[in-house]
Structure 1
Amino acid sequence: MQAPSSELSKAQLLEALCHSQTRARQAEEAAKKAYNEKEHMITHFLKQASQLFAYKQWFHILQMETSLRNSKCQPIYTRFPDFVPWIPIKGKQQKKGQHKPAKTEPSSPRYKIGKSFGSILLGLTLAGAGLLLGWTLGWLFR
């Protein structure tokens, strides 16, 4: 008597197992699809951000070119103090209590260290700009 009921329960268990495996496969496919969609969105977002940065830089360059063509007698660092912040603008007065640092002699070790530090800083800046430009162009032409 118990044989037909145990066979029936085994058949029900096998059918339930088959349905659960089907649902698991469907869930796995949905997860893969969501992951691929997320990766596509991230790639698209980074591409758009790099293009926006490139256009912004291009806009600044065009502004500087226009300004240079309109007035040729004024130095560029007086018209664009944001791009060259380390050069003091004439007519700008120092605050009280501030004094100018003493000039160092070209033969002194302090001058040589400052000069070598400036050279290293310039090199690192150019390398960073090159990497940024390469990365931006890589995203643009990808």
Structure 2
Amino acid sequence: MTINVNVDLGYEFEVKAGIKEVFDVLSDIPVAASHYPKVDKLVDLGKDTFRWEFEKIGIAQFHLQTIFACKYASNRAKGTINWTPVKGEGNGLIEGGWKLTDKKKSTKIVLSLTGELTLPVPGLLKMVITPLVKSEFEKMTDQWVANLSKRFGGEV
């Protein structure tokens, strides 16, 4: 049996680094991914498509692993890096993007992230697993934003 867990996160922050540096880091998917916690492997599938494989987490006798793939599209002129889910790769469908705004002495960053994770756990555990998975996903994404902020010289 499987359960579906929906995630919907949004962040808005400003960093000291210039827009060129921020765009260069965030549009280089392996570099951007290196700041995300608990990524076991990032697999380059070609054609701007990457599969994210996270470390397995154990909950009682269950071990869960999140795996998803996304196709990336970057547009320097618009200050956007977007990703769309690739069906049939793993147990998640994640989409979202970065929107960067040049503030002359800083860069405003907006991150939006939505998706669905399908996890192989008994339905009886849905009430326990769903909030746990959402919380863990949010904590890891919070840490990603914190790591990137630090990389860019901190928030303004």
**Max radius of gyration: which structure?**
1
Asked if these proteins are the same fold (TM beyond 0.5), I'd say no
Q: TM-score, normalised to structure 1's length?
A: 0.31
* Higher fraction of strand: 2
Q: TM-score, normalised to structure 2's length?
A: 0.29
* Higher fraction of helix: 1
